[in-house]
Structure 1
C-alpha cells in the first residue's frame, strides 16, 4: 500500500484524534481495519458512490483497489488464513466477514472479491426477524477473533429489521519487544497533561542504545518487536514526541497532512540515550465514523436516496435502495515491559431504504370518528358522518 493510499484514513485519524485531544481523551484507531472495511464495501458500489469511495481510498479503479487490497491482505495475513499463529515472533491476525439477509443473494462478482481478496466468509442471516441476535453474533465473532480485547463493537439498537448486510473485520496483534524492558526498573514519575496539570504514572526505562531521530519540533523513537529468523516482515512501534508539552495537536496535523511523514521520519540508526522514559498505557477508544467519512468527501454512500450498491446483491426489491447507515470502529492497545497487545474492529452496516407506496385517505364517503384521551384510552366522543353538510 502506497503512502498516498492511506492519506484519507490518516485524515480520519486527524479529525477524530483532535476531537479526542480537545476532550482530554487517549485515542487509537486502525487505518488498516477502516480501509479494508471500506474497500470491501466499494467492491459492491457503482456510479457516484463508487467514484467517491475510490477517491477516498486513493484508487483510480476497482481493479486497482482490489489489487492494492490483495497485496495489503497478503502482507498482513502471511501464508495462513489470517488467524493468529503461535510463534516466538509477533502474532498477527486479520479476518473479514459478511452477514447478508436471507432475502438477498450476494452477486458473484462481489462474493468473489470478498472471498479471494479479503478472505471473507459470507453467512446468510435473518435481519428482519432476528436483528438483535445477528448483532450479538457479529459482536461475539469480533470478540473471539480479537482474543477478547474488543467486545460490543456494534451497540444496542444499531441493527434493526431494515439492516441488510454487515461487513466486519477484526485485527489482533501481539508483539514482544526485541529488547524487553526490565520491570524492576519501572518507576513512577510525573506526566504532564495538556491542561498543565500532572499525574503520576509508571515509566519504563532502559540504558540500551535506542533508535531515535531528532527533527524540528519533535523527536521520534523506534521500538522493534522480536521476530523469528524465517519472518520476512519487521514490525515496530514509533513514538512521536513533541518538544513542547502542548505540541501534540500540531504534530497530529503534520502527520495527517503529509502522506510520507511517517516514512520520512522513521529513525534509521541507534544512538546513545541519556534520560529515557516511556510510560506504560492501556486503553480503548471507539467511535461511529459515518459523519467524518461524509465530511471527507464520501457523502453518497450514506445517502439513502442516492447511494448505489447495485453490484453487491441481487433480489433487492426494485424500489428499495441500499446505503451505509453506520460505520462502527473500536480499538484497544496495551503497552508494557514485555511488548504490545492491540486489537481493532470495524463494522459497516448497510441498510435498505425501503419504498412504501403512499397511502390514500380520501374521506369522501360515510365514516366513523372518535375523540380519545391517550394515556387512559378513554373514549370522550364517538360518532359517524353520513352527510357532512347536514347540521
Structure 2
C-alpha cells in the first residue's frame, strides 16, 4: 500500500508540474495572438497514459518523463483509480456537479489491437474499443469519432477531428473527453451584475459584464498577486434528514475554480512565469480562509481553444512517439506486425468553458492519432475587507481539492471575445 501511495503522490505531482509547464507554453502562444486560453491538463495527462499503454523502450521513458510518472504501471493505476474512478466519477445523481469522462480507441480493421492494450482501454480506463475503416472510409470513420466526442461532452465539442484532413493510412486513434458542469456553492445574484471597464494587455479597454458579490470570499493576498477560490456545490444536502449519509459527502470530489489575479494590469506574463517556476506553486498559494470583501467583481466569460499540441509536447521533451520511423516504439498497440512503423501522427486537444452567475460548464477532448495567517488579541479586531477586482488579464484553474488534480486551466485576456 505504501508503494501505491508513493506512486499516486508522484503521479499527482507530475500532473501538476505538467499543467504548469503547459500553461506557460500555451499562454505564451495565445498571448502572442491576443487570444484567450482554455485547456485541460488532466485530459492531456490521461492522453499520455493512454499513449504509454502502447509504448516501450526509450519511447515509453520519454512519455513517463513528460507525464512525471515513475512507471507505466503506476501511471495507469493513478489514472484508473484516482482520475477515472474518483475525480471524474459522475456524481450528478446526488446533486451539484455533473462530471462525465469517456475514452476510446478506434482501430483500422486491418490491425486488431493487442489484448493487453485493449484491456487497458476497456478494463482500466472504462473506455471503448471500436473497429473502423480508415483506409476505405476515412471521412465516415472520423465522423463516427466526432459523434462520440459530441455525445461525451454534451454537445460542447462537436468536431475534434476534421474528417477531410486525416490520412487514409491512420491505424489507431485514441480520444478522451471530459465534460464538467458545476453550480457555485454560493451563486452570484444576476441583479447585481453590472457592465464595467476591463483593461487589455495592449492598454486598450472595453466594457464587459461583471458578476458582483458582497459575501465573504476565500482570497489569499501575496506579493504581486491575489488568489480567489470559488467552490462548487458538492451535492444537495438536507442537514436535518436522519438518513443523510456523511460518508457519501466526505468521499465526494470537491471542485473549485481558482483565479490568479496579478496586481499590475500588465502582470500576467510575470505571474505565469512564477506559477511555472516550481511544481508546488499552484497549490501552495491557494486561499485557506474566507475574508470580508470590499469591492468584488469577476467577469463572465466563455472560451474555446484547441488544435494540434504536438509541437508543444515536443518542446517538453516528448519526441520519439512522433517519429515516422521505427525509432517510435509503439509496438504495444497492434496485435500483428504492421506494414510500416507505428507512430503517433498527431495529438489534438480542444477545450471550452463558460462561466456565469450560476457556475460553469466546461469540456475538453484530447485525441492522439497513430499512423501506425491568524493572531490572538485580548479584544476582537474585525478583519480588513479585501478588494478583488478582476478588471485586467488573469489566470484561472479548476481543481479537485482532495486529490489536487488540475482539471482545466487558462487565462482571460478579453472576456468579450469568444474564441
TM-score interval, normalised by the smaller of the two chains: 0.7 to 0.9
Post-superposition offset of 1:256: 2.2
1:223 maps onto 2:203 in alignment: no
Q: CA deviation at 1:87?
A: 4.3
In the alignment, what sits opposite 1:27?
A: 37
Whether 1:7 aligns to 2:14 is: no
Specify the SS of the correspondent of 1:115: helix
Q: CA deviation at 1:273?
A: 0.5
Q: CA–CA distance in 2 between the matches of 1:60 and 1:278? A: 40
State whether structure 2 residue 221 is matched by structure 1 residue 214: yes
Deviation string, structure 1 residues 226-267 (Cα, Å, up to 9, x no partner): 112534221110000000001111111221222111210110
In structure 1, the residue matched to 2:383 is none
Per the alignment, residue 273 of structure 1 pairs with 293
Q: CA deviation at 1:68?
A: 1.6
| Structure 2 residues not aligned, in runs of 5+ | 1-10, 238-247, 373-419
Stretch deviating more after TM superposition (341-350 or 14-23): 14-23
Instruction: Say yes or no: does 1:150 pair with 2:184.
Output: no
| CA deviation string 1:137-163 (max 9, x = no partner) | 111111111111112111243422100
Q: Which of 49, 54, 73 is residue 63 of structure 1 equivalent to?
A: 73
Aligned partner of 1:361 in structure 2 is none
Give, in whole Å, the separation in 2 of the partners of 1:294 and 1:315: 29
Does the 8 Å contact 1:76/1:94 carry over to 2?
no
| Structure 1: segments with no counterpart, 5+ residues | 353-391
Tell me whether 1:43 sits opposite 2:36 in the alignment.
Answer: no
Match of 1:190 among 189, 197, 219: 197
Q: Is the 8 A contact 1:66 1:117 kept in 2?
A: yes
Runs of 4+ in 1 over 4 A off after TM superposition: none
How far did residue 86 of structure 1 move?
A: 4.6
2:183 counterpart (176, 183, 207) = 176
- The 3-state SS of whatever aligns with 1:184 is helix
Residues 349 and 365 in structure 2, CA contact (< 8 A), matched pair in contact too = yes
1:322 to 342, 365, 368: 342
For 1:1-391, what aligned pairs fall within 5 Å after superposition? Answer: 1-70=11-80, 71-78=82-89, 85-228=92-235, 229=237, 230-231=248-249, 232-305=252-325, 306-317=327-338, 319-352=339-372
Specify the alignment match of 1:375 in structure 2.
Answer: none
Give a deviation string over 1:41-74, Cα, whole Å, max 9, x none. Answer: 1111011111100111111221111122122222
Higher-Rg member (1/2): 1
- Give the C-alpha shift of residue 3 in structure 1: 2.1
Q: 1:200-224 CA distances to partner (integer Å, 9 max, x unpaired)?
A: 0010001101000000110000001
Secondary structure, aligned partner of 1:2: helix
Compare relative contact order (CA 8 Å, sep 6+) and give the higher one, 1 or 2. 2
1: distance between equivalents of 2:96 and 2:112?
41
Q: Distance in 2 between matches of 1:142 and 1:16?
A: 23
Could you state the TM-score of these two structures normalised by the residue count of structure 1?
Answer: 0.86
Q: TM-score, normalised by structure 2?
A: 0.80
Q: CA deviation at 1:77?
A: 3.5
* SS of match in other structure, 1:276: strand
Equivalent position SS for 2:175: strand
Q: Do the aligned partners of 2:188 and 2:357 also contact (CA within 8 Å) in 1?
A: yes
CA distance in 1, matches of 2:15, 2:143: 33
